[in-house]
Structure 1
């Protein structure tokens, strides 16, 4: 499955994506609010990309999509499909050079359209570190409603962090 937008292709990962994947995930500002640490080793990237390439987006669990700009990997979007196949959790990461240019919004909006229209999901949820203002703004811009705040909920990188919870129902998008 590929989704094409005006500027991007949302596609499966390929083996040749590993170096670019490791590069942007090794950026401290990219890793800051994520579950991995920088630097992101190339061996780990190769294993992750291979797993992503062999995943099945129609099965419960995480599936990672590559965000491609004119043949260059610039980020990824993860979807965790629930066991009921009617709802999913969303996460996204973009290389620093491509942030603030509308690429994340374009990619996530296209994938949401696919999830709600083709896969007929009822709901997509997302959460982010409360300090990650850019991600929170993006989610709100795409129609997500902030549904909650969990104070000091996640232990990450040596500190307790607050989590913002977001949701988007098919009928409200």
Structure 2
């Protein structure tokens, strides 16, 4: 399981990723809108990577993909497959030096393509903290539609936060892909 884009490789996590994974996941700004707490130790990163390597990316539950640039880990994308195996949720994280350069958009586009084209899923969803403008814009750029706002829905890091909800149907994706070819 390895996909390439113009600049990136999307792949399974490898043992060599542990230090970089722990480093960017420990950054308070990276974790600001995420559910995890900081810091993440290298030992915790190694344990997570070992667990990721035991999972089936096509089975129900979450699977984490590594995003690689020039041989180095720069972020990750999670795919949470629903129990019906026909829909999934996605989430993404990028290390700060690589944000704002189109890498996350490129990686998300490739994973979305895989989920619709190779796996034949019907629907993808994504959510983000209502204050996370960069993630909301990325999702819309990729073709997701904003489907809702859940006001003060999530208690995280000592405060209530709004959640933005996004969705993308396979039929909408196919229509966008056809327009790109024309």
Query: Aligned residues, how many?
Result: 173
SS of 1:168 mapped into structure 2: strand
* Distance in 1, Cα, partners of 2:28 & 2:152: 22
Question: Structure 1: which 5+ residue stretches go unaligned?
Answer: none
C-alpha displacement of 1:36: 1.0
Question: Structure 2: which 5+ residue stretches go unaligned?
Answer: 174-182
2:147 counterpart of 1:147: yes
1:1-173 to structure 2, matched below 5 A, reads 1-173=1-173
| RMSD between superposed Cα atoms in Å | 0.6
* Distance in 1, Cα, partners of 2:54 & 2:93: 20
- 1:50-73 deviation per Cα after TM superposition (whole angstroms, max 9, x unaligned): 111221101100000000001100
C-alpha displacement of 1:41: 1.5
TM-score (norm 2): 0.94
C-alpha displacement of 1:43: 1.6
SS of 2:51 mapped into structure 1: helix
SS of 2:119 mapped into structure 1: coil
SS of 1:113 mapped into structure 2: helix
- 1:62-88 deviation per Cα after TM superposition (whole angstroms, max 9, x unaligned): 000000001100000000001111100
C-alpha displacement of 1:121: 0.4
- 1:101-141 deviation per Cα after TM superposition (whole angstroms, max 9, x unaligned): 00000000001001000000000000000000000000000
* Distance in 1, Cα, partners of 2:21 & 2:53: 13
TM-score (norm 1): 0.98
C-alpha displacement of 1:16: 1.0
| Runs of 4+ that moved beyond 3 A | none
